[in-house]
Chains A and B, each alone.
Chain A
């Protein structure tokens, strides 16, 4: 099945390190979203791409977080100087376009910062 895939599925890192999380959206989907889900909470919006550009990055918590989508397909979420509070499941979702309401989610990357 050609669903949304995310790698790695699990990432353990030490405080202060840099991490990259990858998202492969469904082929042809122009809209891509990143969310973060902490334990016991619902997913929280981070950033939205329409094509190659970040159309809405209002959910990024601070400047340690950055995301790119250089060719309008694969996206990478980058976290610098990780902190223990960054530990969460990072979810990626895609949809056919910005006017389509249903988002298709990947399985997530569980990030643990020690």
Chain B
């Protein structure tokens, strides 16, 4: 049973435009969410996170939105750059547990020059 789902395996956007990556979760006990970025042959790199007490967190070009009632979060990248091309993983955790991360299956983003 997949607790974290990324239903779009891939996304292609033009440089300079907005990229929107989506993630859904089923476990209402999750209280912290993270986005990781992964290049080939490298480990995932932390990008941005959000606590369940917030609905938005922004860091430069990256913004994460959380809709708890819909159990949905999204990552917005504005403006998109070719160097953003990578696989993006959504992850969720419970802060009263071991902080183990439950990952989605990832979305491959391609930013076209």
- A interface residues (Cβ-Cβ under 8 A, vs B): 4, 31, 33, 35, 40-45, 48, 50, 55-56, 59, 91, 93, 95, 98-108
Shortest Cβ gap from B17 to chain A (Å): 26
What size tier do the contact residues of chain B reach?
20 to 34
Whether A42 and B93, one on each chain, are in contact in the complex, defined by CB atoms closer than 8 angstroms, is no
Query: Which residue of chain A has its CB nearest to the CB of B89?
Result: A42
Whether B44 and A105, one on each chain, are in contact in the complex, defined by CB atoms closer than 8 angstroms, is yes
The number of A-B residue pairs with CB atoms under 8 Å apart is 65
Whether A40 and B105, one on each chain, are in contact in the complex, defined by CB atoms closer than 8 angstroms, is yes
- Contact partner of B104 (CB less than 8 A), chosen from A35, A42, A91, is A42
A41-B105, A101-B49 known; A4-B43 Cβ under 8 A: yes
Find chain B residues with CB under 8 A from A95 CB.
99
Which of B89, B93, B100 has the most chain A CB within a 10 Å cutoff?
B100
Find chain B residues with CB under 8 A from A98 CB.
98-99
Whether B101 and A45, one on each chain, are in contact in the complex, defined by CB atoms closer than 8 angstroms, is yes
Find chain B residues with CB under 8 A from A105 CB.
36, 43-45
Whether B43 and A56, one on each chain, are in contact in the complex, defined by CB atoms closer than 8 angstroms, is no
